[in-house]
Amino acid sequence: MEKWVLDRRLKQMTAEGVGFRTNVHVGEAIPGEELREDFNAILLSGGAEQPRDLTVPGRELKGIHFAMEFLPQQNRGCAGDMVANQILATGKRVVIIGGGDTGADCLGTSHRQKPMSVHQFEIMPMPPGERAPQTPWPLWPLQLRVESSHEEGGIRDWSLATTSFSGDEKGRVRKLHAVRVGPAPKFEPLPGTEFTMDADLVLLAMGFTGPVRGGILEQLSVNLDTRGNVATDAGYMTSSPGVFAAGDLRRGQSLVVWAIAEGRNAAASIDRYLRN
3-state SS of 54-113? CCCCCCCCECEEEHHHHHHHHHHHHCCCCCCCCCCCCCCEEEEECCCHHHHHHHHHHHHC
Mean per-residue pLDDT over the chain, rounded: 91
More confident residue, 10 or 85: 85
In terms of Cα–Cα distance, which of 243, 240, 221, 223 is closest to 231? 223
Instruction: Report pTM.
Output: 0.81
Whether the CA torsion 106, 112, 114, 119 is positive or negative: it is positive
* pLDDT per residue as tens digits for the range 170-198: 999 999 999 999 999 999 999 999 999 99
Please determine, for residue 21, whether its predicted confidence score (pLDDT) is greater than 60.
no
93-97 vs 243-245, strand pairing mode: unpaired
**pLDDT band at residue 17 using 50, 70 and 90 as cut-offs:** low
**CATH superfamily, region 31-49+211-275:** FAD/NAD(P)-binding domain (3.50.50.60)
d(CA 225, CA 82): 39
**pLDDT band at residue 25 using 50, 70 and 90 as cut-offs:** confident
Where in the chain is CATH 3.50.50.60?
31-49+211-275, 64-204
C-alpha distance across the termini of the chain, in Å: 20
More confident residue, 230 or 10: 230
What does the pLDDT read at residue 22? 52
d(CA 168, CA 177): 14
**Which of 1-10, 63-72, 236-245 shows the lowest per-residue confidence on average (mean pLDDT)?**
1-10
Radius of gyration of the chain (CA): 22
In terms of Cα–Cα distance, which of 46, 63, 155 is closest to 111? 155
CATH topology (fold) of 64-204: FAD/NAD(P)-binding domain (3.50.50)
